[in-house]
Structure 1
Amino acid sequence: MAARETIEIIALDDDWNLLGRIDGKGDWPGIVKALLRMDSAWLVIEQQRADGPSPMPRREDIRLSRTVAHRLRPMEMKIADHVILSGKGRFSFRQAGLL
């Protein structure tokens, strides 16, 4: 991931209502504790790329989604979407059929 990128985890309830936002650059145990504290059932991975050429996912973005989904399974949480935003547009893993 480029230095000018940010990543946030958006916690959602069963009805996909916003519960809160977590800095995705934190450590995994801290992120999990925050998700559990919010009683999150779903989450969105949101990446912001600073004026990148394209919001298209890179290999490491796909790997991130797969790894997070795998780690969430034992906690009965799921990924609602992985969204990449850039100055040139938006890419949704869900809309592209990747989730």
Structure 2
Amino acid sequence: MSASSLLAIATLDAEWRVRTLLPLAMGWSDIVSRLVHDEGSWVALIQQRPGRGTPTPLPNDILFTRALLRSLRPLDIRLADHVIASGKERFSFREAGLL
């Protein structure tokens, strides 16, 4: 994952619409507290790459996604998708079969 990437966890409603966006910069303990308080069961990882680079995941993106999956499991929260957007293009881990 590039240091210049913007990352957020989106809490989703039952139809997988975004309810809230929690920037990862706010810290993991604050994010976990909000996720537990929200009582949602689905989240999505949203990654915005500045510029017009490719949205293809890097090895660190895949490792981070796997670590996030493991961290959410004990909270009974599931990862709906990890979407990487760059310019007008996007990459979906779910659509690519990586989740």
- TM-score w.r.t. the length of structure 1 is 0.90
2:28 equivalent in structure 1: 28
What secondary structure is seen at the aligned counterpart in 2 of 1:25?
Answer: helix
Structure 2 CA distance, aligned partners of 1:16 and 1:47?
17
1:10 equivalent in structure 2: 10
Q: Are the aligned partners of 1:48 and 1:86 in contact in 2 as well (CA < 8 Å)? A: yes
After TM superposition, the structure 1 = structure 2 runs for residues 32-43 of structure 1, keeping only pairs within 5 Å, are 32-43=32-43
What secondary structure is seen at the aligned counterpart in 2 of 1:16?
Answer: coil
Structure 2 CA distance, aligned partners of 1:3 and 1:73?
26
Superposed displacement of residue 78, structure 1 = 0.5
What secondary structure is seen at the aligned counterpart in 1 of 2:61?
Answer: helix
TM-superposition CA deviations, 1:5-27 (whole Å, max 9, x none): 21111001344243211012221
Superposed displacement of residue 40, structure 1 = 1.7
After TM superposition, the structure 1 = structure 2 runs for residues 37-56 of structure 1, keeping only pairs within 5 Å, are 37-56=37-56
What secondary structure is seen at the aligned counterpart in 2 of 1:70?
Answer: helix
Superposed displacement of residue 67, structure 1 = 0.4
- For structure 1, the 5+ residue unaligned runs are none
Structure 2 CA distance, aligned partners of 1:88 and 1:16?
22
Change (3 A) 1:46 1:25: same
1:64 equivalent in structure 2: 64
What secondary structure is seen at the aligned counterpart in 2 of 1:11?
Answer: strand
- Alignment root-mean-square deviation, CA: 1.4
1:85 equivalent in structure 2: 85
- After the TM superposition, which segments of 4 or more aligned residues of structure 1 sit over 3 Å from their partners? none
Q: Percent identity between the aligned chains? A: 39
